[in-house]
Amino acid sequence: MDLVPRKLDIYIVRKFISTFFIALLLIIGIVIIFDISEKIDDFVSKEAPLKAIIFDYYVNFVPYFMNMFSPMFVFITVIFFTSKMAADSEIVAILSCGISFHRMMVPYVFSATLIAILSLCLNLFVIPDANKTRLEFENKYFKARFKSVGRNVHYQIAPGEFVFAESFSSWNNTAYRFTLEKIEDGKLISKISAETAVYDTLKGSWRLKKYFVREYNEDLTDHIRSGRQLDTVIDLSVKDFYLTEKTVETLTYKELNQLIDTQRMRGQCQIRAHRKEYALRPAVLRFHIDSDGSGSFLEETARRHRLEYRNRHCPGFHLYPFPAVQPDVRAYGRSASCHSPVAPESDIRAHSRLPVQDCTKIMPSITIQP
C-alpha cells in the first residue's frame, strides 16, 4: 500500500479536523446554555461573581467536556462529512480512480490519531489542574458532594503501623476513639489510645486528648503512661477519612498512581474505582480510533448498499433506473409484434441491478407495423 501523502489525504484531513471542531463548538455552546439555565439559581443565591463564573468555572469546564465526549464527536464527524462526500459523488470518483477503500482509510486514521493525542494530553496534564479550580468553585457555590468512609475505619498508614478510629467528624476534623498500633514481626510493640484526635490544619499534626501510651517489652512487661494532651505527626490527613466523588479527577496520572499504591497498602475499598480511572485515561487513544473506524465502516456499508461498487479495475455500479414501463403487445392489436427475448409479461425491473454495460443485452426492441 502506497502511504505517500497526496492531495486527497490533505483534503480529507482538512475536512475531518474542521468538521470535528465545528461540531464540538456547536455542541459546547448548546451545553453551556443548558448548564447556565440549570444553575442560574445557585449563581444568584450564592452571589457568585461573573468573573469567577466565566474564568473559574466555564473556562475549565470546556476542556473537561471536550475530553469526555470527544470519541462521540469523532464518530459523528466521520458519519457527517463522509455522507456529504458520498452525496457529492466524491467517494465514487475516488474508488473509480483505483484507490482502494483501505488506502482511503489512511487519512481517517491519521486524523483520529491526531485528535486522540490531543485528548490524551488534555486528559493527563491539562484537565486535572483545570478540575481543581472547577471543583473548588462548585464546592463553594454549589452543594459540597462528599462521601464519608463511615465508621470503624482501620488503615495501615505504614508498614507495621495501623490506625483505627470509631468515627470521624468532618465539621471539626475530629476522630473519636482513636488508636495507633505498631507491630514488628507479628508482635505488638506499642499502642496509643485516645478519646479524641483533632487534626491541626496549620501544623499538619494530630492533637491527642486523654491519651494512653502502652509499650511492650520482650520480657513480657509493659510500660504505661497517660496525659491530657499529646501532639504527634503521623502519615494521615483529613482527606483519608472522607473523599469527594470527584477527587480522582483532580489528580495527575502520577499522583493517581501514588494514590493507588497507598490505598493498596491500606486495603481501602475505593481502590477498584481508582484503578479503573487509571486504566481509562490512556485508553482514550483507542476510543478515538475505534470511533473513527466504526463511523467509516457504517458509512461504507450504507454506501455499498446504495451504489454497490463491484471492482476498482472495472468500475461499474448497479443501476437503479426510473420505473420501467413494460410494453404490452395487446395494446397494439394483432399488428404489433415483439422481437425481445424477454416475454412481454416479464418484469424488466428484475434485471435493473445488472451493470450498465450489460443492460443493453436485455432491453427489448419493439417494432410496430402500421
Per-residue pLDDT tens digits for 214-252: 988 877 778 888 899 988 888 888 877 766 557 777 888
What's the pTM?
0.60
- How many domains is the chain built from? 3
Determine, yes or no, domain membership for 222.
yes
Determine, yes or no, domain membership for 351.
yes
Average of per-residue pLDDT across 347-370: 42
Same-domain pairing of 100 and 62 = yes
pLDDT of 11 > 70? The answer is yes
Report the percent of the chain where pLDDT is more than 70.
72
For residue 236, what are the contacts with CB-CB under 8 A and spacing of at least 6?
155, 157, 163, 206
Same-domain pairing of 189 and 301 = no
Out of 244, 259, 294, a domain closes at 244
Same-domain pairing of 26 and 43 = yes
Instruction: Residue 196: give the domain boundaries.
Output: 147-244
* pLDDT for the residue 222: 81
Residue 303 · residue 336 · CB < 8 Å: no
Long-range (24+ apart) CB contacts under 8 A made by 331-334 are 332/368
The H or E element spanning position 206 is strand 205-216
> What is the Cα 357 distance to its own chain's centre?
49
Same-domain pairing of 189 and 226 = yes
Same-domain pairing of 98 and 65 = yes
Give tens-digit pLDDT for 40-51: 988 898 889 999
Report the percent of the chain where pLDDT is more than 90.
15
Determine, yes or no, domain membership for 213.
yes
State how far the alpha carbon of 168 is from the alpha carbons of 151, 194, 200, 229, 248, in Å.
7, 13, 14, 19, 21
What phi and psi, each to the nearest 5 degrees, are found at residue 147? -130, 115
- Side chain identity, residue 228: R
Query: 103: phi > 0 → left, psi -120 to 50 → alpha, else beta; which?
Result: alpha
Same-domain pairing of 73 and 133 = yes
> Model confidence at 362, in pLDDT bands (50, 70, 90)?
very low
The dihedral through the CA atoms of 41, 47, 49, 53 has a sign that is: negative
Location of C-alpha cell 479503573 = 276
Compare 336 and 192 and report the one with higher pLDDT: 192
Out of 191, 219, 244, a domain closes at 244
Give tens-digit pLDDT for 275-290: 777 777 776 666 555 5
Determine, yes or no, domain membership for 317.
no
C-alpha cell at 369: 407495423
Determine, yes or no, domain membership for 20.
yes
pLDDT of 18 > 90? The answer is yes
State the DSSP code for 147.
Answer: E
Same-domain pairing of 162 and 127 = no
Same-domain pairing of 66 and 164 = no
43 CB-side CA count, 13 A: 14
Same-domain pairing of 20 and 116 = yes
Determine, yes or no, domain membership for 253.
no
Average of per-residue pLDDT across 183-208: 88
pLDDT of 37 > 70? The answer is yes
pLDDT of 23 > 80? The answer is yes
- Report which of 293, 303, 251 is spatially closest to residue 273, judged by C-alpha positions: 251
- Side chain identity, residue 221: T
pLDDT of 364 > 70? The answer is no
Average of per-residue pLDDT across 67-87: 87
Same-domain pairing of 135 and 155 = no
Same-domain pairing of 215 and 239 = yes
pLDDT of 358 > 50? The answer is no
Average of per-residue pLDDT across 65-83: 86
* pLDDT for the residue 317: 37
Average of per-residue pLDDT across 355-363: 44
Compare 345 and 100 and report the one with higher pLDDT: 100
Determine, yes or no, domain membership for 188.
yes
> Model confidence at 333, in pLDDT bands (50, 70, 90)?
very low
pLDDT of 293 > 80? The answer is no
Pairwise CA distance, residues 282 & 124, whole Å: 8
State the DSSP code for 26.
Answer: H
Determine, yes or no, domain membership for 318.
no
Average of per-residue pLDDT across 84-99: 88
* pLDDT for the residue 242: 66
Same-domain pairing of 132 and 16 = yes
Give tens-digit pLDDT for 180-192: 999 888 888 899 9
